[in-house]
């Protein structure tokens, strides 16, 4: 029995699988498998890693394997597990044509989400012991945000805003149109919003202004570690601080050591490479 996964309900999961398979199958279906593989052939499929990974999306991969015909699917790991190369992730026994047709969709989904989880875990490990918390961003693939943010959680990051209605984020363009940080914050409060107000700051002067105007949280954008330390000292623990902008794996440790509460990284969803996972078949 395949369980629903966060953040998709069972119906949402089934819809995702259905749409993804339809995209791959087109109008004529898997013409190669239908021509070459006997209709009653049964296969044993084994999905295994070819490199160390952090798993994300295994239940979705399993759902693909039984989507086109009933199949006996055995999941061997769980999302969030860090596993070495040559780890068996799942096994499936079922109709050969159906398993072959679903192969690429299952692998694409698992490889992409596990790639995000694997890269995320590297960033989390890089700041271990600093006290800073890794956040994801809204830099996600259109239509896949829920799944990609789920994958960052499997990598042990925390989720930032899921959508534009999750929190007030006053950025440089808002400030420019409103006529200043204080006016932008006041406009947000006057609109009757009860959501926390976060303000993007790229200088200590803006940090001063945002604090004085009553911001609930600061986004310290593209500041050096020295500038971040100054900003953290200025804030003095009154509100959370978040470092953001151009953060890389080789720079995140120094950024986190500045004392910020959070470090947000767009690369973990925007630039994560797919991991290497294989799916091998044998006829029964």
Instruction: Tell me the per-residue pLDDT of 68-90, one tens digit each, with 9 for 90 and over.
Output: 999 999 999 999 999 999 999 99
Give pTM, 2 decimals: 0.94
Q: How confident is the model at residue 132 (pLDDT cuts 50, 70, 90)?
A: very high
Structure tokens at 69: 């015909």
pLDDT at 4: 40
Contact present, 256 and 132 (Cβ < 8 Å): yes
Judging by beta carbons within 10 Å of its beta carbon (0-12, 13-18, 19+), is residue 113 exposed, middle or buried? buried
pLDDT over 60 at 41, yes or no = yes
Q: How confident is the model at residue 6 (pLDDT cuts 50, 70, 90)?
A: low
Fold of 10-117+272-283: Aldehyde Oxidoreductase; domain 3 (3.90.1170)
Equal fold, 10-117+272-283 vs 125-270? no
Structure tokens at 202: 């790229």
DSSP letter at 87 equals -
pLDDT over 80 at 5, yes or no = no
Cα-based angle 158, 164, 170 (whole degrees, multiple of 5): 90
Residues noted as catalytic = 104, 139, 171, 200, 221
211-229 pLDDT tens trace: 999 999 999 999 999 999 9
pLDDT over 70 at 1, yes or no = no
What is the rounded average pLDDT for all residues in the chain?
Answer: 95
**Integer Cα distance of 243 and 264 in angstroms:** 6
Domain ranges, ordered by start, for the chain: 10-117+272-283, 125-270
**Mean pLDDT over residues 2-28, rounded?**
84
| Architecture, CATH, for domain 125-270 | Alpha-Beta Barrel (3.20)
Contact present, 260 and 243 (Cβ < 8 Å): yes
Q: How confident is the model at residue 193 (pLDDT cuts 50, 70, 90)?
A: confident
């Amino acid at each position: 029995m395949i369980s629903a996964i966060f953040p998709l309900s069972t119906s949402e999961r089934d819809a995702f699988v259905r749409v993804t398979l339809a995209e791959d199958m087109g109008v004529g279906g898997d013409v190669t498998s239908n021509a070459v593989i006997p209709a009653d052939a049964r296969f044993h499929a084994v999905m295994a890693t070819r490199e160390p990974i952090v798993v994300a999306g295994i239940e979705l991969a399993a759902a693909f394997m039984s989507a086109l015909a009933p199949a006996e699917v055995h999941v061997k790991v769980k999302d969030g597990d860090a596993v070495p190369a040559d780890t068996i992730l799942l096994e499936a026994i079922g109709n050969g044509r159906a398993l072959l047709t679903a192969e690429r969709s299952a692998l694409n989904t698992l490889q992409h989400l596990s790639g995000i989880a694997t890269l995320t875990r590297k960033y989390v490990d890089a700041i271990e012991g600093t006290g800073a918390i890794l956040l994801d961003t809204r830099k996600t693939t259109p239509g896949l945000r829920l799944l990609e943010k789920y994958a960052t959680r499997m990598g042990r990051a925390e989720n930032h805003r899921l959508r534009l209605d999750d929190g007030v984020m006053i950025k440089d363009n808002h400030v420019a149109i409103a006529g200043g940080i204080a006016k932008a914050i006041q406009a947000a409060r006057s609109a009757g919003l009860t959501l926390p107000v976060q303000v993007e700051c790229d200088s200590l002067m803006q940090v001063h202004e945002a604090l004085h105007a009553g911001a609930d949280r600061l986004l310290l954008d593209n500041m050096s570690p020295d500038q971040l330390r100054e900003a953290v000292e200025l804030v003095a623990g009154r509100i959370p601080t978040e470092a953001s902008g151009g953060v890389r794996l080789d720079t995140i440790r120094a950024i986190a050591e500045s004392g910020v509460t959070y470090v947000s990284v767009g690369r973990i969803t925007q630039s994560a490479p797919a991991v290497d996972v294989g799916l091998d078949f044998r006829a029964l």
